[in-house]
Every structure is written in C-alpha cells, then in structure tokens.
Amino acid sequence: MTKSVVITGASSGIGAALAHEFANRGYNLALCARRTEKLESLKNALIESHKDIQVITAALDVNELDTVPSVLSEIKKTFGTVDIVIANAGITGVRRTGSGDLTIDKNILQTNLFGAIATVDAAVAIFREQGFGQIVGMSSFSAFRGIPGSAAYSASKAALTNYLQAVGTELYRKKDIKVTAIHPGFIRTEIDENIEKFPFVIDADKAAKTMANAIEKGKSDVVVPSWPWAILRNVMPKLPESIIAKIF
C-alpha cells in the first residue's frame, strides 16, 4: 500500500520542499496551510510530475486549534491510513524585549507551540487508533540556545523539542509509533528575507532530502544540516553572551 504523509505549512519553504521530496519517494501527500492557492499550484505541479501518487490539499490554520483534529481525520478518511504527519507550520518575528507589546510573541507561541501541539495531539490520536505512524515536529537550532531578538521564537522551539521528547517517551512501548524532532539550522526560505546574513545557509531542497532520509530511518532527533549544527548544539549553551551576540 502506498504510504501517506501530511505536511502542515506546505505552501512554501521547507514544507513545499518536503512535499517534492516525498513525492519523489512515491508517497501520497496531504498538503495543509492557509494559502490554499499556493497549495493548489504545488499540487498541480506534483501531479504533473508524479502520475502514480495521490495529492490532496486542505485549508488549515493551526492557530484554530479545534479544527486540526477534523482536518487530519478527513485526510485519514481519504487515504485510509496516515503514515507520517509533519508539524512544520511556523512563523518568526523579531522583537526587542521591553517594547511593551507582546503581540508578536503571542502569535509566535500560538503558531509554533500550540499549533504544533494541536497537530501532534491529533496525529497521535490517529496513530493510537490505527496502531502505527510517525509524528515529525519542526523545531530549530534556536532550541539549543536562545537567540537575541528572537526570544519568543527560541522559547517556542525549545518548548516544542521538550514536548516532542516527552511524547516520544510516553509512546516508547508502542514500537510502531515514532516521534521525530528536527532541528534545522539556517535554510533558504520565505521565513526570513535577510537569511543570507547568517552563516551556513543551505537550500530547502537539500535540507528536505536529509530530513526525509532521517524520517524514513525513524530517527528521534535530527539536526539539519549536521555540519556545523550538531557540534554547535553542544557548544552553543556554553558560549559567552558576547560571542552569541556577535554571531546573531
């Protein structure tokens, strides 16, 4: 039976690149995001280049927490089963602490943390019922050390990594349900138009290949690209503030 993958935030960047990568690997795809016109053109391109797979789209705003389970169960009805759910939807936002306006911080935590939790929870409900599946959460290297100017973003990703670890442990006896936390470094996408000013930036399609390999291997924790971020993961928490401030 053809395996299926659900991707939230599939309308651009890493999510769209993962859609191409999993289509190349023969998976059926459910593409979710708010910008449905982008999802439709991605779907058309994928169907054009991959005649043997099924691609569906679903309008999904992960901030509307109550709608997430119904969107995922509609997808399960269409495919019969769901093998992989990638909770990828996310936003960023720069804010200097002390401005007195928490709007940006609230939005970031709502989407990156509560939106992801709603996705993980709805996916795990399906996996428990069908007896198998894999949930993938898109965290960040900023989970390793808070990044100046991105305090809320860093906190949302650190919390997501922690949440995924806890879910993985909750499910460790269920050998056929896997939990994967992905920690990307800097990936060239729409999320930050100034991404080139940062070090070690890679293209989304290259990142998607590495991510898909790790997902298929059922890894619980992934850093993409591994150089230099797998090493920096251990080094960053110990670096003095002056160096972190200089880099970021």
- Residues that bind ligand NAP in the complex, under the rule CB under 6 A: 8-15, 33-35, 38, 60-63, 88-91, 111, 115, 138, 140, 184, 186-187, 189-191
Q: 124, 112, 145, 134: which is closest to 214 by C-alpha?
A: 134
Which residue lies nearer to ligand NAP by CB, 76 or 183?
A: 183
What whole-number distance in Å separates Cα of residue 59 and Cα of residue 189?
21
Give min distance, CB of 137 to ligand NAP, in A. 9
Burial of 97 (0-12, 13-18, 19+ CB in 10 A): exposed
Give min distance, CB of 10 to ligand NAP, in A. 6
Which residue lies nearer to ligand NAP by CB, 128 or 235?
A: 235
Residue 196: DSSP 8-state: G
Give min distance, CB of 59 to ligand NAP, in A. 9
Which residue lies nearer to ligand NAP by CB, 47 or 91?
A: 91
Residue with tokens 């650190």: 158
Q: Taking the C-alpha atoms of 80, 83, 87 and 88 in order, what is their torsion angle to the nearest 10 degrees?
A: -110
Give min distance, CB of 91 to ligand NAP, in A. 5
Which residue lies nearer to ligand NAP by CB, 87 or 171?
A: 87
User: What beta strand segments (E) does 114-169 contain?
Assistant: 133-138
Contact indicator for 95, 151 with CB cutoff of 8 Å: yes
Identify the active-site residue in 27, 153, 163, 172.
Answer: 153
Contact indicator for 194, 180 with CB cutoff of 8 Å: no
For residue 163, indicate whether it is catalytic: no
Catalytic residue list? 153
